[in-house]
Structure 1
């Protein structure tokens, strides 16, 4: 069940105006591949947040198959942020990596377009040696109950 999540933070400008007492404007989001047709279009209502944030989540589920069907699985996705009052020119276009568990050969190339890859592990055994990996043995995980007075140790 794949869900895309986006968080935007706003500062008021001429093109982005607050809506009453809300900290963010009403916007539309168009999810697409580069140059391809829009595969999801959502409307996000104005929101009042102490952090000036606005969120959208799209459960792409079966749409994911349509997005990747017959095409490379290692391409960026784009989200056009549209003001309903000026729909012809996007306020912004967000670009982020998108890949499935198919065609893994292209994953590191795509990710390196977005992030500096400082380290990696190539197998479950190798990942068990990296302290940042979820496969790294964590002694705290072995503590099930805490300190036991009777036996004088953790259990």
Structure 2
């Protein structure tokens, strides 16, 4: 008997038509529909135009975030964990409830959130509530720098995140 698949909610570069979607397809995770979060969460854009989902740090923060659902086998989920750097503290996989588009059906899914060790600092550095977005767009993806264009490996992203957090934001 094959282990049950896990529903995974993606909100950024893994969506169809976005830069990292071929990886998701290669992991053998079939598309299960479009959805949005059932409760507000914070989505911000960090270094390299990488999207980060965060638990809403304040009661007034957060938005409903749009994305896509995929059915991931246990091996596909392990591949996604490796890609998202869960072993390095880049992202952590957490459960959340999403609403399938065009229905009122709620689904429990897993999503990759910025690791709790830096999530709130990243939210503040990005501009807090003013920087939150409801979805990662092709415009964001146009500024995305893939792993091949960064410091080596996923650890290069962590270095960039911590460097980004440590800098003072530019005046708007």
Q: Counting helix residues as a fraction of each chain, which structure ranks higher?
A: 2
TM exceeds 0.5?
no
Q: Which has the higher contact order (CA 8 A, sep 6+)?
A: 2
* TM-score range relative to shorter protein: under 0.3
TM-score (norm 1): 0.24
TM-score (norm 2): 0.22
